[in-house]
Every structure is written in C-alpha cells, then in structure tokens.
Amino acid sequence: MKKLTKIALASSVLAMTLSINISAQAQEKRLLTLDDQFAFRQISDPQLSPTGDWIAYTVTNTDLKNDTRDNHIYMTSWDGSQTLQLTNGNDSEYNPRFSPDGKYLAFRSSRESGKQQIWLLNLAGGEAEKISDFAGDVTDFVWSGDSRQLAVIAEEPVPEIPFNGKTPPPIVIDQFHFLEDGVGFIGKSREHLYVLDLATRKADILTPGSFNEYLPAWSTDNKNIAFVSKRGQESDRNNNWDLYAIAAQSGAKARQLTTFIGPDSPRARQGVTRISN
C-alpha cells in the first residue's frame, strides 16, 4: 500500500510539474481554447525503480500543426531534483519497466521494424537495444524476479488481404470474433504467451493454438507463469476468462486453476503469483 501511495503521489507531482505553468500574478481571464487543451502534456504509466529513487513514466505530446502525437519515456528522481528524457525521435515508446535488479529499463516501441517490439536500455549508459523479433506486435511483457527472462504476449501477424486491382476474394466468416477496432479483419490471428531469455535473446512459445492469452504474472520462484485465457468451444462468444498456470519452458502444458463463471485475472497479484510446483 505504501508503494502504491508513493506512485500515486509521484504521478500527481509530475502532472503538476509538466503541465502549463500559470503565472502567480493576476492575468486577464479568458475562455479555454482548443490550443490550450492540446498544450497539456499527458503523463501516464508511472513505474517506481526497485530502489525507490527514480520514477519512470511516459509523456504524450500532441502537435496540432503537424497532426502528430508522440509518446516518450522520462525518469524523475524521487526528490524531484532531476528529470531525464530517456527516449526521443519519430517513434513512440510505451510501458517502461525496470528490471527487478535495477540495471535495465525495458519498453515497447515500433522503431526500425514497424512492429511493437521490446527494447532494452542499460541504465548505466548507452543506447537502447531491440531484444525481440516477433512476427507480430508485442502487446504486454513482465520481468521475471531474477531479471533473466521476460514473459511476453505477442500477436500472430494479421493476414493481409491481397489486392491487385481486381475484386478481392470474399472473406469467409467462421467465427464470432473476426474484427477489431483499429485493426479490421483479424482472421484467425491470436495472441500467445512466450518466454524471452535476456542472455540469448531467444523466445520460446508456451501456448500455441487457437486461443488468446493475456496478463502474464510470474511465480516467486521464476519457474511458472500465470495467465488468463478463454478455452473450450466457441470461446469468443462468452466472457468466461479463467486463470491458468504453465511452467516457463518450451513444451510445457498449461493447467487450469479456476472454473468460476465470469472473468478471472492474475493481476490481483496477492497469492496468485505465488504459484510453484
């Protein structure tokens, strides 16, 4: 609870620090304009370092003139004396996450490949390095407690519909969930759970098949990963998410932990992440 309170307090302080400064002197009153609204920089996703000395977070800027929006990562010291911009450029970065040993900061970005991949920044110095090469976008990742591995959720590539100037072939719909906002037709593309080894950069898939997996959470012994998934017949026609666990090694089989009707999530954290054989 103290950690959550510190993060919430830090978010409030950062929001006030980076918002538009208004002079203490009396100013002529006027109506808020659209330019004023977009001049604000939005702060999100604050993450406290393992030592508690730094907070990493993202800052979103909107450029109305060029019709662009960028998202970059900053760090501010807990006492507020230092603020560092860690990323910059044409591509945005998301989800900064400190390694538990405090040596690295991982984040998502579509730099170079156009696909959201995992990048690693050594906090001792140097440039960020791309450490994943999934065919589809990375949508989520979580550090193992020993800082040696990442549990990763990555999408299968969405099938491209060929267009050669002629009438495209008809799309055959054989499932209830076939469209997604911002993506369009997804076909049978799914999101799966992988384990990415930091030393070798090798990623092993843990959950191949026709189902989606989300919200990975490591056990305290770093041997197992909990996640949520909908399995069974016509799983895309209901909201019955169940909790599963799987050993963090290729070829392992997932075991179902809950059978409640309705959605279950491992990010309640307490107890659920303490799964071990």
Domain with 62 in it: 1-16+41-100
- According to DSSP, the β-strands at 117-122 and 129-130 are antiparallel
The string of pLDDT tens digits covering residues 23-39 is: 444 468 889 888 888 88
Report yes or no on 146 lying in a domain. no
In this prediction, residue 63 carries a pLDDT of: 83
Report yes or no on 155 lying in a domain. no
DSSP string, 105-121: EEEEE-TTTSS-EEEEE
The string of pLDDT tens digits covering residues 163-180 is: 677 787 787 887 777 777
Judged against a pLDDT cut of 90, whether residue 214 lies above it is answered with: yes
Report yes or no on 11 lying in a domain. yes
Report yes or no on 49 lying in a domain. yes
Looking at residues 88-113, what average pLDDT do you find? 95
Neighbours of 225 (CB within 10 A): 29
CB burial readout 9-26, b (16+ within 10 A) else e: ebbeebbeebeeeeeeee
Report yes or no on 91 lying in a domain. yes
CA neighbor of 141 nearest in space, from 43, 225, 33, 223: 225
- What the block records as the tokens of 71 is 């998202």
Judge contact between 81 and 68, C-beta under 8 A.
no
Judged against a pLDDT cut of 70, whether residue 83 lies above it is answered with: yes
φ, ψ (nearest 5 deg) of residue 168: -65, 155
Judged against a pLDDT cut of 90, whether residue 19 lies above it is answered with: no
Domain count across the chain: 1
Report yes or no on 82 lying in a domain. yes
Report yes or no on 48 lying in a domain. yes
User: How far apart are alpha carbons 195 and 205 in whole angstroms?
Assistant: 7
Looking at residues 102-131, what average pLDDT do you find? 95
pLDDT interval class at 22 (50, 70, 90): very low
- According to DSSP, the β-strands at 117-122 and 104-109 are antiparallel
Report yes or no on 219 lying in a domain. no
The average confidence (pLDDT) of the chain is 84
pLDDT interval class at 265 (50, 70, 90): low
The string of pLDDT tens digits covering residues 122-159 is: 999 999 999 999 999 999 999 999 999 999 999 998 76
